[in-house]
Chain A
Amino acid sequence: MSTRLDKRFATLKSEGRPAFVTFITANDPDFDFSLELLKGLPGAGSDVIELGMPFTDPMADGPAIQASSQRALKGGATMKRTLELVRAFRDADNATPIVLMGYYNPIYHMGVTKFLEAATAAGVDGLIVVDLPPEEDDELCVPALEAGLNFIRLATPTTDDKRLPAVLANTSGFVYYVSITGITGSATPDTGKVASAVERIKRHTSLPVAVGFGIKTPEQAHAIAGAADGAVIGSAIVSAIADELNANGKPKVGAAARVLTQVRALADGVHSARAKAAE
């Protein structure tokens, strides 16, 4: 079975380009702005979109994404609204993969079966759920795979060779390598270390490996993308959104266009790096 994610990564591979994976939080700061931005992302160079499901307690996230979650919740974010965003995006774009990223509780609270039905109906392609390690695969990972969604796992610097096969076992779509030990948007990753980690992961899997956490500038994006199949950027985009809000927390006139200009600069950083000859 070939999903939108599989197709997208296959195309990128054939073109010899690394993937630019962008993250924004759903409903940050409101539904309409989020949708405008979502619709603009593919045109600004985003190959894969990660859409954050807002949560009150984002334990793995740094200040930028924490703040975006708070803004989204203040703006009335719910799981239902997040899925409505995806559906509205899908009406106009049937090719760009959308991966929902977040924490398990809002999904668990909704009910796994109900969530998977709603997510697939809305046009979601994959899930990244930070607080579900392979030890808890029966909770959501296995049912999600059965429902035809990709389940993208995080591999980290603490995931050693012994543990890696377990982490990769039920992973599909791509592998998300967390470039640092830490939270999103914190330390800057060391390109050399990232390159050897990506190589190590690739010895265990044929899936594409995208790298994220801590990439902020087009230059860093360029360096990391050269060492992997893709680069994920979240905090930098979410911070750009924060900079475009007025004192009332509403987007300024023309905010989306200016955020997308910054996204385009990051995209150029990623796309100007040749993907490693993918074996």
Chain B
Amino acid sequence: MKEKNVSASSKVNSYRAGPDERGRFGIFGGRFVAETLMPLILDLEKAYDEAKNDPEFHAELTHLNTHYAGRPSPLYFAERLTEHLGGAKIYFKREELNHTGSHKINNCLGQIQLARRMGKTRIIAETGAGQHGVATATVCARFGLPCVVYMGATDVERQKPNVFRMKLLGAEVVPVTSGSGTLKDAMNEALRDWVTNVEDTYYLIGTVAGPHPYPAMVRDFQSVIGTETKKQILEMEGRLPDTLVACVGGGSNAMGLFHPFLDDSGVEIVGVEAGGHGIETGEHSASILGGSPGVLHGNRTYLLQNDDGQILEGHSISAGLDYPGIGPEHSWLSDIGRVKYVAATDKEALTAFQLCSKVEGIIPALEPAHALAHVTKLAPTLPKDHIIVVCLSGRGDKDVFSVAEYLGVKL
């Protein structure tokens, strides 16, 4: 909190100081929103600043994390995968064991507490694969608040189990047909709702994107992943890991794992983007590797866009990575070279999905299967005393139908 007024670029001895008072990480981030929303995000920023300096807020959140979400999540030595790959020692940070089956609950519990503090009585959210929608619907059920989830019509069709889950939890799911009917359009529609219902509504954004303060706030709530990992690996190995690996769509699980380690110069950090059919085909969701800086959804960041600045549709086997942007802090970390961004293709993710299921008895979500795919390339090239921690951000139950389809299996 003391770091608040120090600009990210001026404080060279820390990678953890950002954003600056304008919500910037270097040139990325900012507050590119319509005037109607500007007073709302300024209010939110103020409320969050107060909350994060309030020990009671942290105590409540810790209590919920422990007793409702099931934290801390284990750091698990993936012994058979390590043997199978024959190189570096691989640990899984088991975020898939959280309540609702992914890391998304970490952020939702934080933000719902904040929404209640602010006296908001209606919650809206966007969702792609449905994981964030389910987590939001869950916390709304827990606190008795009405919840509206915007979801692209295309995603509603391909993620039916999660749609039903949200409805069971009492949420209203609104299929979005505008634009291309996917996650970016769901986010547009949520913004349109927010701009209409300014008095009572809280927009619970699911990733480290959007206007300031969302990227920093969501990162802070997700940083529990990295903070726990650090403590756990020190207990288990007596030292920090050599490499961290996480998948990146918007990038919230990755930012949560990475952020507490950014100033540990010995830790190599790798974010894995969705390579789709391959970066060279143009059909991917790799905003950093295959995009360029632009402004969308309230922040400047790397975006998939054409020569005229029109936003392109991403493609990925994983609906959770299928977003044409990425959190602004990732864009900054890439530009300054602190984090290395690579891609894994649909096919590589699918292979890793099957491998992890078979050798570890853990069916991962397709999103972290991208991170695992990179680990399968990396681990064999490294010595046995090299420690890799990979964030297993979600479980794969939601994906078994689409994986079966990709593999040509009729259920």
Interface residues of A (CB under 8 A from B): 54-60, 62-63, 66, 70, 73, 78-80, 103-110, 130-133, 135-136, 153-160, 163, 167, 178, 181-183, 186-187
What is the bound-complex CA distance between A187 and B198, given in angstroms? 14
Contact B35 A154 (CB under 8 A): yes
Which of B34, B178, B294, B309 lies in contact with A154, CB distance below 8 A?
B34
Q: How far is the CA of A62 from the CA of B298 in the complex (A)?
A: 18
Contact A56 B198 (CB under 8 A): no
Q: Are A105 and B192 in contact (CB under 8 A)?
A: no
Q: How far is the CA of A270 from the CA of B206 in the complex (A)?
A: 44
Residue in A closest to B177 when the chains form the complex, CB atoms: A63
**What bracket does the count of chain B residues touching chain A fall in?**
35 or more
**B31 engages A181 (CB within 8 Å):** no
How far is B185's CA from A136's CA once the two chains are assembled, in angstroms? 24
Which residues of A lie under 8 Å from residue B292 when comparing CB positions?
A: 109
Once the chains bind, are B195 and A182 in contact (CB under 8 Å)? yes
- With a 10 A CB-CB cut-off, give which of A56, A73, A178 has the most chain B CB atoms: A56
Are A181 and B308 touching (Cβ within 8 A)? no
B309 and A156 contacting across the interface, CB-CB below 8 Å: no
Cβ of B357 < 8 Å from any Cβ of A?
Answer: no
A109 to chain B: closest residue by CB: B309
In the complex the two chains form, what is the Cα distance from A131 to B22 in whole Å? Answer: 15
| Contact partner, B178, options A60, A63, A153, Cβ 8 Å | A63
Checking A54, A57, A186 against B184 with a beta-carbon cut-off of 8 angstroms, the contacting residue is A57
Q: Known contacts A105-B311, A131-B32, A135-B22; is A66 also within 8 Å of B178 by CB?
A: yes
Within the complex, the shortest CB–CB distance from B6 to chain A, in Å, comes to 19
Given A57-B188, A108-B294, A109-B294, A178 and B196 contact (CB-CB distance below 8 Å): no
Least distance between A27 CB and chain B CB atoms (Å) = 12
Q: Which residue of B195, B197, B309 contacts A106 across the interface (Cβ within 8 Å)?
A: B309
Given the complex of chains A and B, what is the CA–CA distance between A54 and B311 in angstroms?
11
Cα A63 to Cα B179 with chains together (Å): 10
- Report which of A55, A66, A131, A187 forms a contact with B34, defined as CB distance below 8 A: A131
B305 on the interface (CB 8 Å rule)? yes
A-binding residues in B (CB < 8 A): 22, 30-40, 178-179, 184-185, 188, 191-192, 195-198, 292, 294-298, 300, 303, 305, 308-311
Q: Chain A contacts of B308 at CB under 8 A?
A: 78-80, 106, 109-110
**Besides the known contacts A154-B36, A182-B196, 16 further A-B residue pairs in the complex with CB atoms under 8 A apart:** A57-B188, A62-B192, A66-B179, A78-B308, A79-B308, A105-B295, A108-B295, A109-B292, A109-B309, A131-B33, A131-B298, A133-B32, A133-B38, A135-B38, A136-B31, A153-B35
Of B30, B37, B179, B197, which contacts A57 at CB under 8 A? B179
The reply to whether B309 and A60 form a contact with Cβ atoms under 8 Å apart is: no
20 contacts between A and B (CB under 8 A): A57-B179, A59-B297, A66-B179, A73-B310, A79-B308, A103-B295, A105-B294, A105-B309, A107-B309, A108-B294, A109-B294, A133-B33, A133-B34, A133-B38, A136-B32, A154-B34, A157-B198, A163-B39, A181-B196, A181-B198
Task: Indicate if the CB atoms of A181 and B38 lie closer than 8 Å.
Answer: no
> What separation, in Å, do the CA atoms of A163 and B39 have in the docked complex?
8
Q: Which residues of chain B are within 8 angstroms of A130 by Cβ–Cβ distance?
A: 34
Q: Are B295 and A55 in contact (CB under 8 A)?
A: no
In this complex, what residue of A is CB-closest to B197?
A181
B309 lies within 8 A of A108 (CB): yes
Q: Given A108-B295, A158-B39 in contact, is the A55-B32 Cβ separation under 8 Å?
A: no
Please indicate which of the listed interface residues B35, B37, B184 has the most CB atoms of chain A within 10 Å of its own CB: B35
Complexed CA–CA distance, A136 and B22 (Å)? 9
Given contacts A57-B179, A60-B192, A108-B295, contact A133 B35 (CB under 8 A): yes
Would you call B296 and A158 a contact (CB within 8 A)?
Answer: no
B35 touching A156 by the CB < 8 A rule? yes
Q: Which residues of B contact A132 (CB under 8 A)?
A: 32
Q: Please name the 4 residue pairs, one residue from A and one from B, whose CB atoms are nearest each other, closest first.
A: A109-B309, A106-B309, A182-B196, A156-B36
Chain B contacts of A155 at CB under 8 A?
35
